[in-house]
Amino acid sequence: MTVRRRLRLGMVGGGQGAFIGAVHRMAARLDDKWELTAGVFQSDPKHSREFGRSLGLAEDRCYGDFADMASAEAKRTDRIDAVSIVTPNHLHVPVARVFVAAGLPVICDKPLGISAKDVKALSSAVRRAGIPFIVTHTYSGYPMVRQARAMIEAGELGKIRVVQVEYAQDWLANDLPENKQADWRGDPERAGPGGALGDIATHAFHLAEFVTGLKASALSADLSTFVEERKVDDNAHVMLRYVDGAKGMLWASQVAAGEANGLRLRIFGERAGLEWEQETPETLTITKLGHPAHILRRGGPGLSAAAIAATRLPAGHPEGYLEAFAQIYSDAAELIHAHLEVRAPEGFAALAPGVEDGVRGVQFIEAAIQSHAHNSAWTEIS
């Protein structure tokens, strides 16, 4: 077995009070493949450096500006191997653009940006630079999600007919004026034009395409804003048409009373269907036509190589959100090692969502907003 050094990770964003920055740092550490080495964590340079020192970073690698960080790191012999971007949405593309130009691989939170034009230009820059670029669509890292994908690839469900996906939360059921996370997510200048659409519907949209292998070609969207003070949508109903004739329906809501993180996927083919829920991620329910339903369990018998490769603990020792997030970082580590060693990536690292998945998410947002503006008219995703 080849022993490789821990990769050096930089971070932009994720300072004091930020939820997702701490999650990224925990996920990166979990498989012992990364060490946080450098960062600019807050917009205020003084506070950014203080926060970096609190994480144990060296003084000269606690930066006050992301452009300074990219320039300085690119010149070091012990430069970071990748930067993790965990800022509000409007900064994803500007920050990524600077690090890509410096030749540094990027791990970016979703959605990739707030403008399809900008993310397409970023995608072109990534291709020209020839560097790894990973988008953290976390839920594709779950073992049983990868099991579902493998079963569909193997034809076990037959031709896919119906895709049902929903993502329901209630944390924005009321106005939260003192909540930092709600504040920027409700600001179109920072979050982009989509509220629930950009924050959680993009996860649902990616999950459906990741598992089925199908691309949605058009959609019809009905967006709602139930909290009067809010400037972006907080509920979305979207019908989808897939290129091979399959039909889909996506519901995303952040005002669904009683729902915590209700991401649920159901897929139905000619011969069988399957169901997976994020809040009970250890199991995958299979319903074969004419047979009783049966349940596959993570770590149990009968699983695909992809699901086994994403499994850390024996069956019955629950894995969850952090492990799924860590799988994306583990895949990213292999992609970057392969890039540095000029070889093809090993195992299932290529399953990690990339820049084109990020582009798809932003195209989905823009198509949904355009559809809603035209009385839910069918609109191409492009």
Q: Mean pLDDT by 10-residue block, N- to C-terminus, for the chain (382 residues)?
A: 86 93 97 98 96 97 97 98 97 98 98 97 98 98 98 98 98 92 94 97 98 98 96 98 97 98 98 98 97 97 97 96 98 98 97 98 98 98 95
- DSSP 8-state code for residue 288: E
Q: Are residues 22 and 59 in the same domain?
A: yes
Provide the number of structural domains found in the chain: 2
Give Cβ neighbours of residue 122 (< 8 Å, ≥ 6 apart): 93, 96, 97, 100, 112, 113, 355
Looking at the fold, whether 344 and 297 belong to one and the same domain comes out as no
Does residue 147 sit in the same domain as residue 234?
Answer: yes
User: How far out from the chain centre does Cα 174 lie?
Assistant: 26
Report the CATH number that the domain containing residue 154 is assigned in CATH.
3.30.360.10
CA–CA separation, 39 and 218 (whole Å)? 40
Question: Tokens at residue 48, please?
Answer: 């950014």
- 88 assigned to some structural domain: yes
pLDDT confidence of residue 143: 98
24 and 145 co-located in one domain = no
Q: Which helix (H) or strand (E) holds 326?
A: helix 321-341
Contact 324, 138 (CB under 8 A): yes
221, 280: one domain: yes
The pLDDT value recorded for residue 54 is: 97
pTM to 2 decimals? 0.96
Whether residue 196 is found in the same domain as residue 165: yes
Residues paired with 84 in a beta bridge:
11, 107
Whether residues 276 and 336 share a domain: the answer is: no
- Same domain for 87 and 157, yes or no, is no
Shared domain for 149 and 100, answered yes or no, is no
Q: What is the dihedral of CA 224, 377, 208, 333, to 10 degrees?
A: -80
CA-wise closest residue to 221 among 382, 381, 379: 379
Domain span at 243: 141-317+360-380
Backbone angles phi, psi at 317, to 5 degrees: -105, 95
